[in-house]
Structure 1
Amino acid sequence: MTTDLPAPGVFRRLAAIVYDCFLLFAILFVASLIPALLLSPEIMSNDAANNSVVHELNSPLQGSLYRFYLVSLIFIFYGWFWRKSGQTLGMQAWRIKLESSSGDQPSWSQCLIRLVVAIPSLGLAGLGYWWIWLDRDGLAWHDRASNTRLRSIPKAAKK
């Protein structure tokens, strides 16, 4: 348990998000490329480059099913990291760890609530993050909603 460690500040949290966005972008790019290649055979043909403009090609990657696919991948990305070790790669780089308020690993439902509430928390000009400065426990909106908290991990002592 790391409940005695301090909560990270807003800027460390946002820096970890930026790190994670780079990795998540790459994952979503590959995840979009695979069905695009499988569902659009004209992309692979030589005639497509000569006879069509790229924006005129049929795009199978539209609609609710595709959006659900991408949102599911985002949830799996964060949920897997949070459930496995309490840290995404960005959180590891910035020495931040997620735990439930009891100090255990967060549950899948806590991960889902955290992710759903984090979207407006960041999307409303970051108000959910700036709230950390007003909250007595240093918690963001999604921390409160999901009954989780972030903790700063101290640097390891050099030998």
Structure 2
Amino acid sequence: MASTPASSRPSALIGWRVLALVYDMWPVIAMWMVASLVFTVGFTMSGHASRENIAPFSALQWVLWLVCWLITGAYALLSWRRGGQTLGMRPWRLKVVADDGVSAPVLRALVIRFAVGSVSLLFGGLGFWWAWVDRERLTWHDRASGTRMVRLARR
């Protein structure tokens, strides 16, 4: 598919993107659970009772959130870098490509894509829903990173 021009490739609609996000949620949650286990064991070994919770809005809680966000970023970036697809994008034939619609995006563009996509999700997915009103069906993170998500044709 290296020679297919961007205009002839089908755009990735918002429904396909949401399905891919839901599918990708499962391996990411599994990795979060492992990270939480490490934090819990470390918290217990530091002298706290095994049933004592981490205090809300404590520094440790924010560190755990940051670690989970970094794990999610590593999962997405490694997947996009490796073949343009995460596990959730494969069943629906979605792929992240550079703005030309053919070549692989550079790492800097993928980092921007993940960061802006994260902010978009914090605002209720507003950047994702933007694709419904955009002429080219691009989301905020597509525009900011100079990438796009395309739906591959059936084999």
Give the alignment's TM-score, normalised by structure 1: 0.79
State the alpha-carbon separation in 2 of the partners of residues 64 and 124 from structure 1: 19
On the 8 A contact 1:32/1:61 being kept in 2, the answer is no
Instruction: Point out 4+ residue stretches in structure 1 off by more than 6 angstroms.
Output: 58-61
Amino acid aligned to 1:36: T
1:91 aligned to 2:114?
no
On the 8 A contact 2:44/2:50 being kept in 1, the answer is no
1:28 aligned to 2:26?
no
State the alpha-carbon separation in 2 of the partners of residues 58 and 12 from structure 1: 37
Amino acid aligned to 2:82: K
Task: Work out which of the two has the higher radius of gyration on C-alpha atoms and give 1 or 2.
Answer: 1
Give the alignment's TM-score, normalised by structure 2: 0.81
Q: Which moved more, 1:102-111 or 1:30-39?
A: 30-39
- Paired position in structure 2 for 1:70: 68
Give the aligned length. Answer: 148
Structure 1 unaligned regions, length at least 5 = none
**Structure 1 or 2: more helix by fraction:** 1
- Paired position in structure 2 for 1:10: 14
- Paired position in structure 1 for 2:146: 147
On the 8 A contact 2:79/2:85 being kept in 1, the answer is yes
Q: 1:33 to 1:95 in 2, by over 3 A?
A: same
1:35-62 CA distances to partner (integer Å, 9 max, x unpaired)?
432452389xxxx9xxx672x2568982
Q: Which moved more, 1:112-121 or 1:5-14?
A: 112-121
Amino acid aligned to 1:84: R
- 1:64, distance to aligned residue in structure 2 (A): 4.2
Root-mean-square deviation over aligned CA pairs: 2.6
